[in-house]
Amino acid sequence: MSDFAAIRQWLENTQDEPLEDMGGFFDRRVDTYEDHMRPWRDYYRWLGELIPPQAATLLDLGCGTGLELDEIFRLRPDLAVTGIDLAPGMLARLREKHPERKLTLMEGDYLTVPLPSCAYDVAVAFETLHHFSPETKLGLFRRIFAALRPGGMLLEGDYTAESDEMEAYLFAELARRRARQGIPADVFVHFDTPLTLEHELALLRQAGFIAEVLGWRGEDNTPMIRAVKP
Ligand SMILES: C[S@@+](CC[C@H](N)C(=O)[O-])C[C@H]1O[C@@H](n2cnc3c(N)ncnc32)[C@H](O)[C@@H]1O
């Protein structure tokens, strides 16, 4: 069964489940989150290896409990990291794991928190960007571009929609659920709306990045994207 067929079937079986707010969704699952993500271990390890040796500062968007930071700090314990997340419980778990590191954590929305300009060598966004419309994502990519130093890079690891049809279906399903549950468009809820790889790369390039796919996580639709600020 394709990803799309499996996801559509799962959504049909769960269509009466209430939408949850984004931060609350993850905080309610903080005790099981890392076990749930265990199959992704090699992918986080790969990300750790992609941090350039000369990098000194890193911005982690949607850092959660920091599974990617566990791997990054293993290789680069000296790195100064700023992590942003909406979920205070996830951030508390991350802080407990790395008390010795140069780690600044901000509880907030990375779409709106002020970011310093030309401040970071690397930005990472892991399993967090599959919730936004193309317009919102373009605005975010422009913010990340401005926050990076020239020559800096965004490393993005996230699953993509396997077709335009899947992408359109998920946005339509989210709109249906919002309408049924009376949740306005400006309330941020947890519901996956990944873009196709083609659309994701086009937005990164529109924001000014030189973007390429470095490879894939196993057999699924999860690329590792490197987007460099020239
Ligand atoms: C699936 S978790 C990924 C966490 C971590 N990056 C990892 O790979 O294990 C997604 C995280 O993104 C955060 N998130 C989603 N949208 C966000 C936003 N607009 N601002 C800040 N955090 C956000 C969620 O709260 C959650 O902790």
Query: 64 alpha carbon to ligand 1 midpoint, in Å?
Result: 5
| Mean pLDDT confidence for 156-172 | 96
The CATH number assigned to the domain holding 17 equals 3.40.50.150
Residue nearest to ligand 1 atom 20, measured at CA? 109
Determine the Cα–Cα distance for residues 45 and 48; give it in Å rounded to an integer: 5
Query: 109 alpha carbon to ligand 1 midpoint, in Å?
Result: 10
Residue nearest to ligand 1 atom 13, measured at CA? 62
pLDDT for 66-122, tens place per residue? 999 999 999 999 999 999 999 999 999 999 999 999 999 999 999 999 999 999 999
Q: Which residue has the tokens 């000296």?
A: 78
| Mean pLDDT confidence for 145-153 | 98
| Mean pLDDT confidence for 212-225 | 91
Domain of 217, in residue numbers: 3-228
Q: How far is CA 224 from CA 47, 98, 201, in A?
A: 8, 25, 11
Residue nearest to ligand 1 atom 9, measured at CA? 67
Atom of ligand 1 nearest to the CA of 113: 20
Q: Which residues contact 8 (CB under 8 A, 6 or more apart)?
A: 169
What pLDDT was estimated at residue 1?
56
With a cut of 90, say whether residue 33 has pLDDT above it.
Answer: yes
Query: 81 alpha carbon to ligand 1 midpoint, in Å?
Result: 16
For the chain, how are helix, strand and coil distributed in percent, rounded to 5?
40, 20, 35
What pLDDT was estimated at residue 223?
97
The pLDDT mean for the chain works out to 96
pTM for the whole structure: 0.97
With a cut of 80, say whether residue 2 has pLDDT above it.
Answer: no
Residue nearest to ligand 1 atom 14, measured at CA? 62
- Answer for the pair 158, 131: CB distance below 8 angstroms, yes or no: no
pLDDT for 40-72, tens place per residue? 999 999 999 999 999 999 999 999 999 999 999
What pLDDT was estimated at residue 218?
78
- Answer for the pair 97, 120: CB distance below 8 angstroms, yes or no: no
Query: 49 alpha carbon to ligand 1 midpoint, in Å?
Result: 21
**Ligand 1 pocket, mutate which of 34, 65, 82, 86 (most atoms under 8 A from CB):** 86
**Ligand 1 pocket, mutate which of 21, 85, 129, 143 (most atoms under 8 A from CB):** 85
Query: 85 alpha carbon to ligand 1 midpoint, in Å?
Result: 6
Instruction: Kindly list the protein residues whose Cβ atom lies closer than 6 A to any atom of ligand 1.
Output: 22-23, 26, 37, 62-64, 67-68, 84-87, 90, 109-111, 126-128, 131
Atom of ligand 1 nearest to the CA of 37: 9
Total structural domains in the chain? 1
